[in-house]
Structure 1
Amino acid sequence: MPELNRAHLVIALSVISGLILNVDQSSIILILGKISEQFDSSLSDSQWILSIYLLPLASLVIAGGAICDRYPVTHVLAGGFVLFLIGSIYSSVSQELIHLLLARAICGIGAAAAFPASLALIRKCLPENLAQKAFGLWFAGALGGSAIGPLINGFLVDRSNWRMIFLISSVVSLLLLISLFFSNIPTPETSKDSQISINSSLATIVGLLGIVFGLIRAGSDGWLSPLAIFPIAGGLIIFLLKTAINRLSKTNSKVSTNEIKKVWPFIGLMFLGILPVVGVVVLTVLYLGSIRELSVFQTGLAIAPFGLSAALLSPLVPKLLLKYKFAFMLSAAVLFQFSGLIILISTKSNSNYMTIGLGLFCLGISKAILPSSTLNQALTYVPDSLSGYISGLHNGAIQVGQLLSIAFIGSLATANINKHLRKTFSNDWGNISDANYEALARGEDWLPSQLSNSEIETFRELAKVGFSSGLSRTVFTAMIILFTFVFFGLISKQKLNKSSI
């Protein structure tokens, strides 16, 4: 196969892999309401539909990256998509919520291998000049999937049911596996030195599970509830013990090198940069579907500025990095993220769609800059033999950030919306039970009995006002996370400057 055609094939397989995984992930957000209706699940259960996929993905993606360095990357990519295909088929036929959660967990395990493998394929199979452009295309495809996928899937779901999303993922995954089987891409060199720790991955899963469980329970039971405090504390203790054991045993010799140490600031920046964004986007989708009563396709259209802005800018980020350097690009990402959150803080029950779209557009620009910039910068400090590990580490930061963003901001939203609803209605509307407040917090059209037509309209409007006020309060909290991100960025910049002297 000619060298140029082989390069095009590698780029195509890598970009399509990222596209499939992100289309699936972003489309699930749009159908949470429909899934909740069918299974009569609460807002906390809806958070688990997202979190149960991200949990194994976030926990195992670093191990997946290390596996890419030890074994042929094409085999790892194929194995990941086999699991993703099985999980997608299982999701499409699930008749109970527990089966759907198990199916999504299988998809998450497959994605933990496929995500870093699709990125490692670029670094291991392409020369440096093409790899930089390919990374931009990968992020454009991945983020473009976040915009186009919900539109296409939303259109189909409105005309069938939510299972259509999983059927589409199954078909496209199967086509990718067939293409990969017949591609005959030469297997790059592997490194037996890459460390794969099963115990470390299991500890990560258990630790994250405790933290996420506690965060989700905090939204409904309160932040001082034993079901919130003890799981979070247990998860944090596991991570502290894991860190201490790794330092004492010295088993991760690769991670202790000076090159890897220089990578950690960029991983930290990626993690903090994603925290304020994803949870806010999920809440915006809930607002558009529940309060503004848009269809799945209309909701996908309303949030399209987020994915489109990210997809259009991503291919340009590598070139912009060469021209403006990392510090300038990071500042631009912070500025756009700050602008987007400021706009969304002002969201009311009747806010203009153009205003919401502008806020999402700014968040999309931020998300376009951060992943590509931090990964490109991190890879400049390590040899190609560790590119799979670093890609997994970077993707792990993204997935853990998304997981904790959904759990933390989702729980804050549950508590804030509940609080504002209770404040809005007070005792003027009779004795509204906790279950009914939870229904209103999910955006359901619950009404007290024996209301006149005028009172029904007033009650519905007040419910929308209470929901929107709680949402705005939650976005304000995301602003505080952004300030932490800026502070961490300044400290990281100072440390890198000192280490380079």
Structure 2
Amino acid sequence: MSQIGKPPCEEGVIFHGPAAKPCSAPSRHWTLVAAILGSSLAFIDGTVVNVALPTIQRELGATTSDVQWVMESYALFLASLLLVGGALGDRFGRKRIFMIGTGLFMLASIGCSLSSSVKILIAARAIQGIGAALLVPGSLALISATFPQSERGAAIGTWSAFSGITAAFGPVLGGFLVEHYSWTWAFLINAPVGVLLLAICALKVPESKGSTDAGPVDVLGASLVTIGLAGLVFAFIEAPARGWKAVPIWGAAVIGIFTLLLFVRVEARAVSPMMPLRLFRERNFSGANILTLLLYAALGGSLFFLPLNLIQVQGYGATAAGAALLPFIAIMFLLSRWTGSLVDRFGSKLPLVLGPVIAAVGFVMFALPSSESTYWTSFFPAICILGLGMSVTVAPLTTTIMNSVGSELTGTASGINNAVSRAAALLAIAVFGIVLVLAFNATLDNELRHLHAPASLVSAVVGQREKLAGIVIPGGYPDATVAAMKHAVSVSFVAGFRWVMLVSSALALLSAISAWIFIEGQSAHEVFDSAKSR
């Protein structure tokens, strides 16, 4: 659920993509079907796996850091290689790279379902992420390379509608499969879809390439950003267990920071960089990406832990947890047309300030429920407010990005913003894990001091503290003692979850401040006068 809602600017990638090649109407229709299936594959995987994580943790005996790696290994390669995946399609053929990505994603999904240990699962997820990095930009580029400019609006509308359906029912379907069958089906479901997609591509989708004078693929830049992000993610995820003084931890952090700085230097000098730094000289482009980094860190990082709370603490089934965020998706879908008109009426600045502020209120509301809260009185209002805040933000954010650069660079700018949103969630999941673990451990120690439970039971629980709310309480003790220990674990997790949500709220407020400072637009007085005139 860390990926609920489409990342910003995906429509921009399609609308301002490469010039279309002449092809028949049936070919265009089949290409749209392939693009929808491809996007759905990656999107369902990102949402379904979140719902399956508590079951995976229990059945594979995984720690919370292991569970983080199940998500992060996938997200790392997707975020790092997303831009270079698009460049490979332009150079070697968009359909070819799209099919390679689909095949790799499908085979890795089968590998995930066959994993007998969490380490094998993490490795398979990394391969899946590489496949997704080839598949996701390819699905967007295929539409723009096949549909002429005059028909892209309708194609984008169809693609967005089916993406909304995927967003709504993907987590619910995944939760049902996990709850009634096995977590392995959360991955196996990709196999038949992948086979169908490959068949459609091979038989119906035309091939297309970019211009022949395009520069070389930025392999060095992609390698550096992958190593840099991997170093930071490793340090943040493993630090709670190993300590910051451990050589692998501070060594990984140093390597990560140094490599990312080297990445910036290389991109500034590269002939054909995956991330042209000159775009950041534009004030609106820089401001929009700062907002994206902060707000999508808050969204992706915090909502990674929501299914763990709902399932392991609140006692929801996987299906109910998958359905919990349906109001969020419904609000974004219903308000999409209205929020798209906000820029025309008020400019970009006002909605990009108000939207994150509303989202910050939603995050604070997530911090209020206890370990025994009901959905409708606690989580539902928070989800609705968060959905409203993100709805107000996403369309103006996409418009700001696309309007901040020349038309020849709009596709590149949209792709960069898309990648920034994914990298933000990647880093936030790792960092927020530290916040949750620190609060969990402090609260659990305090609860155990007042519990007066048998020393053997306390030792068994403390020995599993790396599992957080996934701690298994051993049997053989009085029911009242076991219940009290379960309550202590739940209260401790909720304490950490509250801190995560408060940090998310602070990040959302910082994103609003960044929009106020950097985004150029009407002043408050001009906005008021404009509203009065209407």
- TM-score tier by shorter-chain length is 0.7 to 0.9
Q: Select the residue among 259, 262, 268 that pairs with 1:247.
A: 268
Q: Which amino acid aligns with 1:51?
A: E
Deviations 1:431-469, CA, capped at 9 Å, x for gaps: 53474351662333425x775333333332233222212
Gaps of 5+ in 2: 1-21, 524-534
Q: Which amino acid aligns with 1:397?
A: V
Distance 1:161 1:254 in 2: 41
Q: Select the residue among 140, 147, 151 that pairs with 1:119.
A: 140
Alpha carbons of 1:92 and 1:192: their partners in 2 closer, same or farther (altered >3 Å)? farther
TM-score norm. by structure 1 comes to 0.88
Correspondence for 1:293? 315
Alpha carbons of 1:254 and 1:62: their partners in 2 closer, same or farther (altered >3 Å)? closer
Correspondence for 2:56? 35
Q: Which amino acid aligns with 1:459?
A: M
Q: Which amino acid aligns with 2:469?
A: R
Contact 2:112 2:125 in 1 (8 A): yes
Q: Select the residue among 274, 283, 307 that pairs with 2:305.
A: 283
Q: Does 1:444 align with 2:471?
A: yes
Correspondence for 1:458? 484
Alpha carbons of 1:178 and 1:325: their partners in 2 closer, same or farther (altered >3 Å)? farther
Q: Which amino acid aligns with 2:235?
A: G
Which secondary structure state, in structure 2, belongs to the residue aligned with residue 182 of structure 1?
helix
Alpha carbons of 1:291 and 1:34: their partners in 2 closer, same or farther (altered >3 Å)? same
Q: Which amino acid aligns with 1:489?
A: A
Q: Which amino acid aligns with 1:480?
A: A
Contact 1:272 1:485 in 2 (8 A): yes
Contact 2:354 2:512 in 1 (8 A): no
Q: Does 1:216 align with 2:237?
A: yes
Q: Select the residue among 137, 141, 146 that pairs with 2:167.
A: 146
Which secondary structure state, in structure 1, belongs to the residue aligned with residue 305 of structure 2?
helix
* Pairing of 1:116-265 with structure 2 (within 5 A): 116-128=137-149, 130-132=151-153, 134-135=155-156, 138-139=159-160, 141-142=162-163, 144-185=165-206, 187=208, 189-190=210-211, 192-222=213-243, 226-248=247-269, 252=273, 255=276, 257=278, 261=282, 263-265=285-287
Deviations 1:260-283, CA, capped at 9 Å, x for gaps: 856443333322221001221121
More deviation, 229-238/28-37 = 229-238
Deviations 1:274-293, CA, capped at 9 Å, x for gaps: 10012211211101110122
* Pairing of 1:29-428 with structure 2 (within 5 A): 29-128=50-149, 130-132=151-153, 134-135=155-156, 138-139=159-160, 141-142=162-163, 144-185=165-206, 187=208, 189-190=210-211, 192-222=213-243, 226-248=247-269, 252=273, 255=276, 257=278, 261=282, 263-314=285-336, 318-354=340-376, 355-368=378-391, 370-382=393-405, 386=409, 389-426=412-449, 428=451
Deviation of 1:382 after TM superposition, in Å, equals 4.8
Correspondence for 1:488? 514
Alpha carbons of 1:315 and 1:22: their partners in 2 closer, same or farther (altered >3 Å)? farther
Distance 1:352 1:471 in 2: 16
Correspondence for 1:474? 500
Q: Which amino acid aligns with 2:438?
A: A
Gaps of 5+ in 1: none
Deviation of 1:174 after TM superposition, in Å, equals 1.7
Contact 1:195 1:254 in 2 (8 A): no
More deviation, 350-359/24-33 = 350-359
Q: Which amino acid aligns with 1:424?
A: E
Distance 1:362 1:250 in 2: 45
Contact 2:268 2:276 in 1 (8 A): no
Contact 1:36 1:46 in 2 (8 A): yes
Distance 2:403 2:149 in 1: 11
More deviation, 369-378/468-477 = 369-378
Distance 2:274 2:104 in 1: 31
Deviation of 1:321 after TM superposition, in Å, equals 4.3
Deviations 1:105-157, CA, capped at 9 Å, x for gaps: 11101111221222233334334454356446545544542331111121122
Deviation of 1:427 after TM superposition, in Å, equals 5.6
Which secondary structure state, in structure 1, belongs to the residue aligned with residue 470 of structure 2?
coil
Q: Which amino acid aligns with 2:91?
A: R
Distance 1:496 1:210 in 2: 41
Alpha carbons of 1:249 and 1:128: their partners in 2 closer, same or farther (altered >3 Å)? closer
**RMSD of aligned C-alpha atoms?**
3.2
Alpha carbons of 1:158 and 1:481: their partners in 2 closer, same or farther (altered >3 Å)? same
Distance 2:344 2:31 in 1: 24
* Identical aligned residues as a percent: 23
Correspondence for 1:21? 42
Distance 1:280 1:259 in 2: 28
Contact 1:68 1:389 in 2 (8 A): no
Deviations 1:372-417, CA, capped at 9 Å, x for gaps: 5434432345566655544432221122112112111122112211
